[in-house]
Amino acid sequence: MAFFKAMGDWLWGGPLLAVFLAVGLWYSFGSGFFPLFGLPTWWSVTVGSLFRRKKDRKEGRGVTQLQALSTALAATIGTGSIAGVATAIVYGGPGAVFWMWISALLGMAVSCAEKTLAVRHREKGPDGRWQGGPMEYIAKGLHLPGLAKVFALFCVAETLAGGNLAQANSIATALSAAGGANPVVVGVVLAVVTFIVLAGGIKRIGQLCELLVPAMALLFVGSGLAVIAVNWQAVPGAFRQIVAYAFSPRAMAGGYAMGTALRYGVARGVFTNEAGLGMSSIAHACADVDEPAEQGMWGIFEVFFATVVICTVSALVILTSGVYDSVQVLPLAEAGTVPEGMLGAPLTAAGFATLFGEAGEWIVSVSLLLFAFTSLLGSGYYGRRGVETLTGSRWARRLYQLAFPVCIVLGAIGDLTAVWQLVDVFNGLLAAVNLPVLLLLSPEALYLLREWLMGRKKKREICAKST
């Protein structure tokens, strides 16, 4: 796996990070930093809409906006939010959390554009439902069907690695650590259940995720906030660590290099929210919505919740509970000899256990099980869409539907370090295709956003005059 590690380090070590930050800044400036200054608008359209009745919605065209969001969150709030954050802190230091936040801030504008373009260029599938994503906005927006197929190929590969192997591996590791579960048994059960749900298509996936995502978020966030509250005196110190290590010189005692923090922070941040990768827009394209930019608001909320909320809770639990010491961990990380108990989900579980004891490990195990299981569902749908773009043949789609459960079993018994190296490689390849495309399509995406905002403003003015 030395090749994949070297390739992942190269992809995320310089040019790709620069492109990601450049595209994020381009959309942030182009939108007037809308994710920040437009917070009341996108919050009202997303969270606020959950408390308002929707009228004049046509049935049968796609899933609801909440189901589309839940499916997208299901595929993003997976092991990256628990195991990924812990891995980033171990290998990149506390400063990696700071760069996660920066990637989220820039990623919110990028995610808004992705979802807007996905709805703008979507099309009806054979079943009459909406389908779309990067494959469609590359083929129809840029008129480059060949590049769309390249993206689809990387999408299929990523769903079998990051969306499959990494999720199954973390589930098996967590259940084995908490209850001594046999990884093979865990993998087989997961494979069977996932196969059954995926067979029902996007509608069944959306309905299940709509139930599981809020429940798992409440369980994990609520328990995590309890740990942080008990260790509230350590919170200021944790934030100081995050900021200090984000810019620390290499000579600092027990410190991580700034470049290492940047590399792991941005890479893991992108994995947790998928902004710039484009895959989550595949779920959003299925939403029952008329205005493309309206779905873009859900893209902003998706990144905010997946990274700013979930990942911050994970990071603060680790940094305030006393289970992590940078001086002790840094030499092990540099030598590649970090014990399994100090890496990934077990480290997060150890933080929860400081308050809840053995129950803390089960809280993380159950949360991880729900997170990773719903991630498997979302990724399975994305991969199938990738196969449909590559070839319309039924045998290819059925082959993928069989290969996906097999990879779940392989992931459950595989090596965690090797799996994460594959994740970095395939995420990097997806971003290498999608980011330049987003840059080329930025005039259209920003235009759609401005027009939608102007339309909302005019409606408010008309309502004000009528009253």
In the chain the domains, ranked by start, together with CATH numbers, are 2-50+64-466 (1.20.1740)
Residue 57 has pLDDT above 50, yes or no: no
Residue 254 has pLDDT above 60, yes or no: no
Average pLDDT of span 111-132: 88
- The percentage of residues in the chain with a pLDDT greater than 70, rounded to a whole number, is 79
Task: For residues 215 and 222, give the distance between their C-alpha atoms in angstroms, rounded to a whole number.
Answer: 11
Q: What is the residue-wise DSSP string for 306-349?
A: IIIIIIHHHHHHHHHTT---HHHHHHHHHHT---GGGSSHHHHH
Give Cα 423 to chain centroid, integer Å: 12
Determine the pLDDT at residue 445. Answer: 95
Helices within 231-257 (DSSP H only): 235-246
**What is the maximal distance between C-alpha atoms in the chain?**
70
Q: Please give the residue that has the higher pLDDT: either 230 or 286.
A: 230
Residue 24 has pLDDT above 60, yes or no: yes
Determine the pLDDT at residue 434. Answer: 94
User: How far is CA 28 from each of CA 103, 110, 353, 439, rounded to the nearest angstrom?
Assistant: 12, 8, 40, 12
Give Cα 388 to chain centroid, integer Å: 23
Determine the pLDDT at residue 444. Answer: 95
Residue 422 has pLDDT above 80, yes or no: no
Averaged confidence pLDDT in the chain: 80
In the chain, the amino acid numbered 448 is L
Determine the pLDDT at residue 56. Answer: 45
Residue 99 has pLDDT above 90, yes or no: no
Average pLDDT of span 176-202: 78
Residue 430 has pLDDT above 80, yes or no: yes
391-402 residue pLDDT tens: 877 888 888 888
Q: Which residues of 116-132 are buried (b: 16+ CB within 10 A; e: fewer)?
A: bbbbbbbeebeeebbbb
Q: Please give the residue that has the higher pLDDT: either 55 or 299.
A: 299
Residue 153 is encoded by which pair of tokens?
Answer: 């190929």
Q: Please give the residue that has the higher pLDDT: either 47 or 112.
A: 112
Residue 279 has pLDDT above 90, yes or no: no
Residue 338 has pLDDT above 70, yes or no: no
* CA nearest neighbour of 38 among 461, 457, 464: 457
Average pLDDT of span 185-204: 78
Residue 253 has pLDDT above 50, yes or no: no
Task: For residues 22 and 2, give the distance between their C-alpha atoms in angstroms, rounded to a whole number.
Answer: 29
Please calculate the CA angle 240-242-247 and round it to the nearest 5 degrees: 100
Q: Please give the residue that has the higher pLDDT: either 36 or 358.
A: 36
Residue 210 has pLDDT above 80, yes or no: no
175-184 residue pLDDT tens: 776 667 788 8
Residue 252 has pLDDT above 50, yes or no: no
Average pLDDT of span 339-354: 76
Q: Please give the residue that has the higher pLDDT: either 56 or 344.
A: 344
Q: Please give the residue that has the higher pLDDT: either 29 or 261.
A: 29
Average pLDDT of span 420-425: 75
Residue 184 is encoded by which pair of tokens?
Answer: 């093979």
Q: Please give the residue that has the higher pLDDT: either 416 or 216.
A: 216
Q: Please give the residue that has the higher pLDDT: either 146 or 49.
A: 146
User: How far is CA 199 from each of CA 366, 408, 445, rounded to the nearest angstrom?
Assistant: 24, 16, 33
Residue 192 has pLDDT above 70, yes or no: yes
Q: Please give the residue that has the higher pLDDT: either 24 or 91.
A: 24
Determine the pLDDT at residue 243. Answer: 85
Determine the pLDDT at residue 251. Answer: 39
Residue that has been written with the tokens 């182009």 in this structure: 30
Residue 74 is encoded by which pair of tokens?
Answer: 């299901």
Q: Please give the residue that has the higher pLDDT: either 51 or 149.
A: 149
